[in-house]
Structure 1
Amino acid sequence: MSHTTAPIPSHRKPRRSTTKLSLRAGVAGGVLSTIAVAGAATPASAESVTEATLEMPTLGALDTDIASAVSASAEANQQEALDQDLAAQEDAALQKAAKDAKKAKAEAERKAQAERAEKARADAEAKARASRDAQRVQLAQTTSYSASGSSSSSSTGASASSGSSSSSSQAATGTAASIVAFARAQVGDAYVPGGTGPNSWDCSGLVQAAYRQAGIDLPRVSSAQSMKGTAVSLSNLQPGDILYWGGRSSSYHVAIYVGGGKFVGAQNSSTGTVERSLDYDPPSGAVRIL
């Protein structure tokens, strides 16, 4: 039997082919060339970066100038706003001052007009009062003259027969005339409780004022006034006598007899100060101070 000799595999590494070695050498050479080129180009790039970095301060200066310009513009705008606000405040103050001055002027004119009207009213009232006083004094003088003429021309018998009614025609003289004239001058004035003049009265306030201007002091209230002087009969009254209503020590109303069967008194708030006949409100009694 023939034995075939089988090839024994070798444990040595196979030899690489020349083609593969050449290919690998070419690739390696290309890589090295690329590295060399990159290395040669690196200084130029660094120089470019350095040059670009050196030019940056120029941009920073420009930014500073812009910032300064913006700040100056903002300050100018703020100053202008402040000036406008100040001008507005000044204008508002001027308008307010003008308005206040106009209001004050109107108020002053109103007060002046009111004062003129009040003065005119007071003057008119004073003139009217003076006119009434003059007329009443003239009336009293005329009455006195008539009474004296009638008395001198009458006989003794006629005088005796008229003695009982002499109080109704007797005219006031002296102090009594002054009291009567004052009382009549107040006719038309208002009645006010507690009033003592000059344009409003209560009953005892008027009596007290009439006697005071004649130099005679009387108490303030009616009950005390009716206790002064001497009690007289209502049939024997004389001008200037004080009439009272109620009891003498507790009278609630007083008036002044003015002659001719009449009295003047501050009656009440409805009538005011009036001149009335004794028949209008007959008194309880009378006292004579003079």
Structure 2
Amino acid sequence: MTFFRHSNISMFFDITNSHFSDIISIIEKVMNMHYIIVDVERNSFNYATDKPSEIIEIGAVKINADGKIIDTFSTLVKPSCPLSKFTIKLTQITEDMMSQAPAFDEAYEKFVQFLGDRYVFVSWGKEDYRFFKSDCQQYGWDLFQPDRLLDIQEVFMYGVLKVFSTPSLSSALQHLNIEENENSHRALSDAVSTAKIFSKLNRILDIHSIEKPKRFAQELYFLNGKINNSGKKKYSKLIKTVIKKTGNQQLSWPEFKLHPKWIEYKSDFSVDNVLEKFYEKQFPKYKTSVINGILQQKNAVKTV
């Protein structure tokens, strides 16, 4: 039995003469695999509009199986409508800069050539690939198909922070003690920053095996020691349900905690003073809401 390991890819083979050529072929594919770290900028609007939010810049870094940067790609992309003021302010990309930029067809064709045959598409978040999908549909192009999509933001969240709150690229750079580039919100600059994060995580983690952990209710419903909006919605619904079931308009916190419905769901919550204070504050309002709802139902029945 022979063991091959390269760039976090492990393979076991029972080597025989009949299989040797196949093994060599697989190893060559692994050795020729590239990571393409991509970032795009969009023509975004901070108001409701029918104008398409198109890609206006593509930046990419190509890393080989040894983790070395071997090439970069950068191009502006002329959108079908003028840049929004919001986009100009965010990216510092101007209409003058766009005057000589290629249209999507030309820029996309060059980008696909840069990608090559075998590669993993790496990005900070899942949006960049979706942006390409949207623009390809708009302009009638086939979407490129990588060997794999890798969300390095997710790897950082679950492999390093072990949290569910979505970190920014800037905060990840700070956390990993990586110097941030000056030209943030420019595609190649952000792609280079993402590549630095990728390279560092690839040294300390098995980036291909990071899985999303089970999300505990405490993280779902609380933030910085306070009940968040999701917690308020779930907890409020529970209080109203108990009021309806008991018909008790003076239900105290100790009595509420003894109700079977709370016992059923209490594993979702941390029973502490945060919830008790929320209960005492909101109970009168929910009691009135439930009573009014019951009265409305009775009146509707009488009317019928």
TM-score by length of 1: 0.21
Higher strand share: 2
Q: TM-score, normalised by structure 2?
A: 0.20
Q: Which structure is higher in helix share?
A: 1
